[in-house]
A and B are shown apart, each in its own frame.
With several copies, the nearest count.
Chain A
Amino acid sequence: AGEIRRFLRDDGMLKVSRSLKETAGRAAAAREQLEKKLGREPTMEELSGEVGITREEIVLAMEAAAEVESLHRPVYQ
């Protein structure tokens, strides 16, 4: 049972960084796409509409993605 729990929780763990990274990735893609379409930087409202996630959650995901990147960067250098 401990093993199963460990497996489930590990999966959950992966999902945290995965889901934040995925959100950050989608926001970055939407930003680029909207910038092309609008000819200017999109606002948070436009981004949030495109990604389907609240403005606050988008900034959390982007900070988390930046953190993960800066934490991992030295490891891969």
Chain B
Amino acid sequence: MEQTNEMMIEFDSRSCNESFARVAVAAFMTQLNPTLEEVADVKTALSEAVTNAIVHGYENEIKKVTVSCSISGQVLTLTVSDKGVGIADIARAMEPLFTTKPDTERCGMGFAFMEAFMDDVQVKSAVGQGTAVTMKKRIGRIAGEYHD
């Protein structure tokens, strides 16, 4: 039986809310009985996606960022969305080291980190409409060890 549980958080695109978002997702995913490493992986991937929404999506204007989170069986799915500028060429944006803000402390490794720390990363975006990054990760040690 695959029990499903869902939550969603929406917050102002201020960098002071990143830490809140990380902890909220960490608190929700503790239901999956994760390891410390799994929690750290998800927090890193989430931070990259939220920073992108704030810095690139909204270019530091104060609008809403949404993080939807669901648990189905042992799989955690996270979607980070903004209604910002959007991405014209998604494949290019996802290339390691590609960045449109080379002047700042960004180094073009955000998507590479998300892909390294999560099992699957999908990006949907439309110029002028916004971006949604959906990431999945299977949490849990060995098959059959959890009752779900």
* Contact between B27 and A60, CB atoms less than 8 A apart: yes
Q: Give the number of residues in A that approach B within 8 Å (Cβ atoms).
A: 30
Q: B23 at interface (Cβ–Cβ under 8 A)? A: yes
CA distance A5 to B38 in the complex (A): 14
Question: Distance in Å from the Cβ of B108 to the closest Cβ of chain A?
Answer: 22
Q: Do A12 and B35 contact each other (CB < 8 Å), given the known contacts A56-B22, A56-B23?
A: yes
A contact residues around B30 at 8 Å (CB)? 44, 55-56, 58-59, 64
**A36-77 vs B: 1/0 string, CB under 8 Å?**
000011111101000000111111101110010000000000
Q: Do A59 and B142 contact each other (CB < 8 Å), given the known contacts A9-B35, A44-B35?
A: no
Contact of B141 among A9, A60, A63, A64 (CB under 8 A): A9
Q: Give the number of residues in B that approach A within 8 Å (Cβ atoms).
A: 20
Q: A21 at interface (Cβ–Cβ under 8 A)? A: no
Q: Do A44 and B27 contact each other (CB < 8 Å), given the known contacts A6-B141, A6-B142?
A: no
Q: B34 at interface (Cβ–Cβ under 8 A)? A: yes
Contact of A60 among B23, B142, B145 (CB under 8 A): B23
CA distance A36 to B19 in the complex (A): 29
Q: Do A19 and B22 contact each other (CB < 8 Å), given the known contacts A43-B142, A63-B27?
A: no
CA distance A2 to B38 in the complex (A): 18
Q: B39 at interface (Cβ–Cβ under 8 A)? A: yes
CA distance A57 to B22 in the complex (A): 9
CA distance A31 to B35 in the complex (A): 9
Tell me the dominant secondary structure on chain B's binding face.
Answer: helix
Q: Do A59 and B26 contact each other (CB < 8 Å), given the known contacts A2-B142, A6-B141, A43-B142?
A: yes
CA distance A19 to B36 in the complex (A): 8
Interface members, chain B 87-135 (any A CB < 8 Å): none
Q: B11 at interface (Cβ–Cβ under 8 A)? A: no
* Contact between B19 and A44, CB atoms less than 8 A apart: no
Q: Give the interface centre of B26, B33, B35, B37 by most chain A CB atoms within 10 Å.
A: B35
Interface members, chain A 1-48 (any B CB < 8 Å): 2, 5-6, 9-10, 12-13, 15-16, 19, 27, 31, 40-45, 47
Residues of A within 8 A of B (CB): 2, 5-6, 9-10, 12-13, 15-16, 19, 27, 31, 40-45, 47, 54-60, 62-64, 67
